Structure 1
Amino acid sequence: MLIIVCFVILYIALLGIFLTIKLNSTGKPKIIVHEDERYYLDPVTEERLPFPPLMSDKEKEIPSKSEKYLSVIIPAYNEELRLPSMLDEALDYLERRSNETINQSSKVDSKVKDVGTSDVTWSCPKGEKFTYEIIIVDDGSRDKTTQIALQYSRKYGTDKVRVLTATKNRGKGGAVRLGVLSARGKLILFADADGATKFGDIEKLENYLYQSTDNEVDLINSIAIGSRAHLERQAMASRSIFRTILMLGFHFVVWFFTVRSVKDTQCGFKMFGRNIARILFNYMHVEKWAFDVELLYLAERINCNIGETAVNWTEIDGSKIVPVFSWLQMGKDVLSICMMYTIGAWTFPVIKDKDIKEKTF
């Protein structure tokens, strides 16, 4: 009898906690962008210029249309040492793509679709139509990350390289969201500042997007993500048993409670169509390391087109992840994601016809 009473008391207590959490939650996150985070600096003229209100953190503000083909978002926290080599590789690649002639060919596949009696090639733009921008988001660094990034703005111009300096450290997810909210691209890639993934592998992500869609609307509502799953055995061989157990445990927690269709949720190399990015990042609550899990969890729930493709990845010294603490923090965040959506404290995106069918590019 005593055991039954204890279970009843526990049930009532948990119910009360869940109801309190749900009643005190707004469902959709309140995104706070400070005034200084709405501007970037032109190091040549020393003017502060406004970012476009891309995805719009204001509910009634009309999202801006894309002005570029590709936006690259690079979250950076105390990355003055690793950032230059990553930017050098990325800009070398992007400049080469933008100067490509029609007869030159990148490795991005194309396909032909029938439109009436004519054939139309559905493929990514080349040469002068391949326009891009890089947004480096300094996530409250204490070193010279912003100053290093501004050197690239001075060299390439602020139409191609912009620096967003956060007023405080938000976490990787928060930094990525700031960059996404300020992006001009039809496709939006976020890539880690360490350059661990070969930058040219964006062609693999583009290949998936163009091979799995045949029109612009589907393209801007699709996601392609880089994966290191094919390197897992090699990684396990070089790690301690304890770290291997933590890694496998985290993967199981992610699979069991949230994301089922993606093997590697944490690879920092993901490409979003503009419209699906607008939807997902406006509903994302988690701003730390596990933000990828929430984004993909939401994408699965709204039946988004998601593709995972193997990329070339090399571990780079200087990781900000603390082996034990960070894995435990991410595990806690994954459990929070599951619980908060299950009890209705956080709400899933409601996809209306205009969200999918309107062209926002």
Structure 2
Amino acid sequence: MESLLTVAELGLSLLLIVFWGFISVVVVEAWRRRHSNVPVETVTTLEDPTSLKQVPCPHISDPADKYLSLIVPAFNEEQRLPAALEETMDYLQGRASRDKNFSYEVVIVDDGSVDGTKRVAFDFVRKYTVDNIRFIPLGRIKGKEKL
């Protein structure tokens, strides 16, 4: 009977060791993924269509220099984008003129459009400057793909 109890205790001990080993691997992998500084895909510069110079693109971990960042996802929005951006910019400029502490940027992210979305976006960047409107072309359709 004693040897049977010892075998059960040994089995239970082995099971606990395997369980804690598994938990340790999961925790270490989660920590590694969370603290990994390797970006999946980053855009480091934007093109200023007025001067055709490259303008640095802020990184997500950079301190905020704008009060509001409005992200506009776009895919084949050539027809709808002009009216939406005109109304948005009218509001944002009005608010900025009333409140001197209010700063903003509109970031248009093109998801591989095949129409004139890029041209429309660049027209707005030229009109309102790259400081207020930024355009990021992703180049190929990504959709809701997880990065």
Q: Deviations over 1:99-145 (max 9, x none)?
A: 11xxxxxxxxxxxxxxxxxxxxxxxxxx1111000000001111111
Do the aligned partners of 1:39 and 1:49 also contact (CA within 8 Å) in 2?
A: yes
Q: In structure 2, what is the Cα distance between the partners aligned to 1:140 and 1:50?
A: 21
TM-score calculated relative to the size of structure 2? 0.71
Partner of 1:154: 126
- Unaligned stretches of 5+ in structure 1? 1-22, 56-62, 101-126, 175-285, 288-361
What is the match of residue 51 of structure 2? 45
Question: Counterpart amino acid of 1:85?
Answer: A
Q: Which residue of 2 aligns with 1:32?
A: 40
Q: Would you say how many aligned residue pairs link Structure 1 and Structure 2?
A: 117
> Offset of 1:64 from its aligned partner?
1.2
Q: Which amino acid aligns with 2:122?
A: L
RMSD: 2.3
Whole-Å separation in 2 of the counterparts to 1:64 and 1:31: 14
Q: Give the drift of 1:31.
A: 4.7
Structure 1 distance, partners of 2:134, 2:122, is: 8
Unpaired segments ≥5 residues, structure 2: 1-25
Partners of 1:167 and 1:79 in 2: CA distance: 15
- Paired with 2:83 and 2:139, the residues of 1 have a C-alpha distance of 25
Identity of aligned residues (%): 37
Where has structure 1 moved over 6 Å in runs of 4 or more? none
Distance 2:64 2:97 in 1: 21
Match of 2:136 among 159, 164, 168: 164
- String of CA shifts for 1:189-232, please: whole Å, max 9, x gaps: xxxxxxxxxxxxxxxxxxxxxxxxxxxxxxxxxxxxxxxxxxxx
Counterpart of 1:164 in 2: which secondary structure?
strand
1:64-120 CA distances to partner (integer Å, 9 max, x unpaired)?
Answer: 1111100000010111111111101110110110011xxxxxxxxxxxxxxxxxxxx
TM (norm. structure 1) is: 0.30
In 2, Cα distance between equivalents of 1:132 and 1:85: 19
TM-superposed CA distance for 1:170, in Å, is: 1.3
Asked whether the 8 Å contact 1:39–1:164 carries over to 2, the reply is: no
Which residue of 70, 88, 102 maps to 2:86?
A: 88
Corresponding residue for 2:14?
none
Distance across 2 between alignment mates of 1:39 and 1:51? 5
The aligned amino acid for 1:81 is Q
| Letter of the structure 2 residue corresponding to residue 148 of structure 1 | V
Which entry has the higher C-alpha Rg, 1 or 2? 2
Q: Distance in 2 between matches of 1:142 and 1:168?
A: 10
